[in-house]
Amino acid sequence: MTDTKFCEQCQEEHPVDTKHWEFRSGVATFCRVGVKFIPGFWPKTRKPTQRQKLGISRERYLIGTQVSQYWPGKGWVYALEQYEHLEKAQGGVCALCKKPPPELGSRGKNGRNRGRLYVDHNHITGKVRGLLCPACNTQLGPLFNNVQLLAAVIKYLEAAQSEQPTLDSSA
């Protein structure tokens, strides 16, 4: 027969070998059912957060906190409003390729930022230019806001397209 232990709070015996006991300082004194009856054992209910008061979903809150760096000193609520205004003005699509952002279920390198567009800004002035999908944002980044470099890339691609290069080494 298994060993049992008596809980003083719920007035029942429970097997000692189960994970039924609540530990405080390494000593099991009350079972997990009986511990609910101890006043002050569980923390009091928390005050609702600003996000909960405003009725904003966790996903929208995360967007607001992530894009708040582009509107410094304004707070995440203002940043979220600005982001949503830009998103609505662009029709929910990327400013360059006009495609919607990847679905929330898709996973990238770390699974974050899926289902949303990225805030594109000038790295020198900090001015926000628009919202881009992850692919366009990644491609635009290495150009370092350099219009001359972008023009050179366009010329290069147009020249390569008109020449129709071949892989045949005898030509």
Q: Are 14 and 31 in contact (CB under 8 A)?
A: yes
pLDDT at 2 over 90: no
Residues 151 and 140: their CA atoms lie apart, in Å, by 13
Q: Is the model's pTM score more than 0.75?
A: no
Asked if the 92-164 domain carries CATH number 1.10.569.10, the reply is: no
Tens of pLDDT, residue by residue over 80-133, are 899 999 999 999 899 888 988 877 555 555 555 567 888 888 877 888 889 988
| pLDDT: which is higher, 76 or 106 | 76
Ordered by start, the domain boundaries in the chain are: 4-37, 50-89, 92-164
Distance (Å) of CA 134 to CA 39, 61, 67, 84, 116:
51, 19, 14, 17, 9
